[in-house]
Amino acid sequence: MTTRLNLFDLSQKVDYKTELLSGLTVALALIPEAIAFALIAGLSPLTGLYAAFTMGLVTSIFGGRPGMISGATGAVAVVIVSLAKSHGVEYIFATVVLAGFIQLAAGLLRLGKFIRLVPHPVMFGFVNGLAIVIFLAQLDQFKVNDASGTLRWMKGPALWLMLGLVVLTMLIIWGLPKLTKAIPASLTAIVVVSAAVIGLQIDTKTVGDIASVQGSLPPFHLPAVPFSLETLQLILPYSFIVAGVGLIESLLTLNLIDEITETKGRSNKECMAQGLANIVTGLFSGMGGCAMIGQSLINISSGARARLSGIVASVMLLLFIMFGASLIEQLPMAALTGVLIMVCIGTFEWASFKTIGKMPTSDVFVIVVVTLVTVFLHNLALAVGVGVVISALVFAWENAKRIRARKYVDEQGTKHYEIFGPLFFGSIHAFNEKFDVSSDPQEVVIDFAESRVADMSAIEALNALTRRYRVAGKMVHLRHLSPDCRKLLQNAESMIEVNILEDPTYRVASDLE
C-alpha cells in the first residue's frame, strides 16, 4: 500500500510495508555496530546504543535526506577515544554537545554547500575506503578470546560453522530478490539464519557474547564537568574535529544516496539536523555520531525512501534495549556479519577500476590515495581533505598551462596581446614570459576578452608588468576586463598600486603617463 506521510514530509510518497520492514532490518544491524563503536571509544555499550537511538530519531525527523540513517560511528569513536581514556565519559558528553552547536552553526551559515567542492574521484576513494573499513571490521567476528583474554582467529569446526552461516546469509540476500521483492532480503536472511541457529541450538557467536544490550530509556543528564575556560580549552579541539568529521561523512553519504535514488537532499538542513541530534545525544548519555553509510545503504537497498524507516529503526532499537534484549542477544553474529559484508560489496565502486587507463592519471591517483588514507588511518576528514587538496593542485597546474597570448601589430603600429585562459597565481610565470617589453612599440594593448583576472597574485603580476612598461617609457592599455575583474582591481587599489583608468571605448584601460 502506497500513500503519503503528511506528518513528516508532504512531498514524499511512502510505502508503509517497505518502510516498516526496512526499519526493522536497520534496527537489527545497528546493534552490533553501536556496541562495537562504543567499545572502540572505551565506553559502555549502552552509550553507543543510546547514541544510535537519539541520533537516528532526530535526524530521521529533521534531516535533509529521507532514508539516511545516523547513529554512533567509528569515525567519531576514533576521535574521542583519547579524551575518554584521559578524562572520562562526562567530558565526552560535553564534547558531543559542543560539537552539535558547531554543526548547527555550520547549517545556519549554509556551509553545507561546500560539499560540492568534493570531486568525484574523492567520492570514489571515500566510498571504496569505507567499504574496505566496514569489511575489515567484520573480520573481528571470526575471532574469539582465548584463556588469556587475547583475540585469536577461530579454528576448526567453529570457523567453518561461522563461515557457513555468513555465506548462507549472503546467498539469501543475493538470491531472494531474484524470486520476490515483497520483503527485504536482509531481514529475511537475519530471520532465517537466526531461526536455524536458535531452533537447532547451534553453538556460535551471538550478540550477547559481545555485550549486554539490556537498558532503559536514555536518561537526561547534564555533563558533570566544570563550567570553566579550562574545560572549554580542553574539549573545543575535540568538538571541532567531531563536528567536522561528522559533517563530512554525513554530507558525503547524503550525496551517495542522492546518486543512488536520483533525488536531491538538502545539505544545510542535514547539517542543522546533525547538530541538533548531537546536542540531544550528549544530553541523553550518548557518545555522539553522524550518518552511517552501511546502515543507510541497507535501508535504501531494502526499498526505503522516506523518513518513516529511520524513525521505525530508532524506535525498534529502543524497544530492543528496553524489552527485547534477551531475544536480541541470541541473534547470531554470522547473520549480521553477512548483511554487512553484502553492504560492503554493494558499496564498493567497482566502476573505479574502469577508470584506470581511461581517466586522467591524477584522478586515479586521488582515488587510490583517499582509499588508502581511509583504510589505514581511519580518518575520513583527513582522507577527504587530502583528496580535495590534490585535486585542487592538479586543477591549478593544468589551468596554469592553458594561458596563451596571440600577438599582432595593427596599422597604427600598436602591438596587441590577446590573452586566453585564466590569470591566477599558477599562471603568472607563463603570463610574464609572453611579453617582450624592450622590443615592443610605444603603445601596447593587452586584451582580456578571453581571460579573467582571478586573484591577488594576478593583480600584482599586472601591476609589475605595467610598471616595467612605464620604466621603458611605453603606454599599456588593459582592455575588455570583465566586471568582476574590474571590481577586483578596484578593491586592490588600497593594498597595491593599480594603474587603471576608465577608457571610453573599452570601459577600462591602463594609462601609464
Residue 386 belongs to a domain: no
What cell was used for 274?
A: 546533525
278 in Cβ contact with 96 (< 8 Å):
yes
Per-residue pLDDT of the chain (513 residues; tens, 9 = 90+): 444 444 444 445 788 999 999 999 899 888 877 887 787 787 888 999 999 999 999 999 999 999 999 999 877 887 888 899 899 999 999 999 999 999 999 999 998 888 777 888 888 888 788 788 878 878 888 988 777 777 789 989 999 999 999 999 999 989 988 888 777 788 888 889 999 999 999 989 888 887 788 889 999 999 999 999 999 999 999 999 899 889 988 998 998 899 888 888 999 999 999 999 999 999 999 999 999 988 898 899 888 989 999 999 999 999 999 998 888 888 898 988 888 788 788 778 888 888 788 888 888 999 999 999 988 887 777 888 899 899 989 988 888 888 899 999 998 999 999 999 889 889 999 999 999 999 999 988 888 888 888 888 888 888 888 888 888 888 888 888 777 777 766 665 554 444 443 343 434 434 333
Residue 28 belongs to a domain: yes
SS3 420: strand
Residue 374 belongs to a domain: no
Residue 487 belongs to a domain: yes
Last residue of a domain, one of 353, 387, 419: 353
pLDDT of the residue at 222: 94
Which residues does 54 contact at the CB level (< 8 Å), separation at least 6? Answer: 218, 277, 280, 281, 284, 286, 314
SS3 152: strand
pLDDT of the residue at 71: 95
26 in Cβ contact with 296 (< 8 Å):
no
pLDDT of the residue at 512: 37
pLDDT of the residue at 494: 53
What cell was used for 267?
A: 545539505
405 and 349 belong to one structural domain: no
Which residues does 309 contact at the CB level (< 8 Å), separation at least 6? Answer: 18, 19, 20, 22, 23, 26, 60, 67, 299, 302
124 and 241 belong to one structural domain: yes
pLDDT of the residue at 298: 87
User: Which helix (H) or strand (E) covers residue 151, if one does?
Assistant: strand 151-153
pTM check: above 0.75: no
pLDDT of the residue at 493: 58
Domain enclosing residue 409, as ranges: 401-492
Residue 230 belongs to a domain: yes
User: Which helix (H) or strand (E) covers residue 30, if one does?
Assistant: helix 16-40
147 and 31 belong to one structural domain: yes
268 in Cβ contact with 107 (< 8 Å):
yes
pLDDT digits (tens, 9 = 90+) for 300-309: 988 898 999 9
342 and 427 belong to one structural domain: no
289 and 418 belong to one structural domain: no
CATH of the domain at 406: 3.30.750.24
Residue 382 belongs to a domain: no
Residue of 41, 68, 46 whose CA lies nearest to 56: 68
